[in-house]
Amino acid sequence: MSDEPKLSPWGAVQHCEIMNTGIYSVDTASHGGIMIKEEYAKEILSPEARKCGFRENGYLNFEEDCAAAVAEREFLDKEIWEIPDYVKDKTEYENSLNDSIKQYFPEYWEEREKKLSANTYDKRYIVSDFLIGKPVMVDTKAKTLNFYSYNMYGQLYDLKNPEVHKVTAKTINGLIKRTQDYFRYKKTEKVVDGYVYKYLMNKNQKEQCKTEPYIRLSDKIIETNNFERAVRKMCEWSYENNFHGSADEKENGRHQRLQYCENYLKDIKAEVNYSKNSEKKSLLQTLKENKTKIKQPENINKPVKEKNNMR
Q: Mean pLDDT, 10 residues at a time, over the chain (311 residues)?
A: 83 93 93 94 92 95 94 91 85 90 94 69 84 90 94 94 95 95 91 92 90 81 88 93 91 92 88 54 78 60 50 44
List the one residue out of 149, 122, 134 whose CA is nearest residue 225. 122
* Residue 293 included in any domain: no
Domain boundary among 61, 92, 118: 118
| Cα–Cα distances in angstroms (integers) from residue 118 to residues 114, 122, 194, 221, 283, in the given order | 6, 9, 19, 22, 25
Residues 140 and 112 in one domain: no
Q: Which pLDDT does position 41 carry in this prediction? A: 93
Q: Which pLDDT does position 1 carry in this prediction? A: 46
Residues 17 and 132 in one domain: no
Q: For the chain, how many structural domains are there in total? A: 2
Its domain, for residue 24, covers 7-118
Do strands 23-27 and 59-63 pair parallel, antiparallel, or not at all (unpaired)? unpaired
Q: Which pLDDT does position 22 carry in this prediction? A: 93
| Residue spans of beta strands (DSSP E) within 38-101 | 54-56, 59-63
Residues 138 and 241 in one domain: yes
Say how far apart CA 260 and CA 267 lie, in whole Å. Answer: 11
Q: Which pLDDT does position 202 carry in this prediction? A: 86
Q: Which pLDDT does position 38 carry in this prediction? A: 94
* Residue 70 included in any domain: yes
Say how far apart CA 202 and CA 197 lie, in whole Å. Answer: 8
In the chain, how long is the greatest CA-to-CA distance?
A: 70
Q: Which pLDDT does position 224 carry in this prediction? A: 86
Burial class (CB in 10 A: 0-12, 13-18, 19+), 149: middle
Residues 149 and 252 in one domain: yes
Q: Which pLDDT does position 8 carry in this prediction? A: 95
Q: Which pLDDT does position 211 carry in this prediction? A: 92
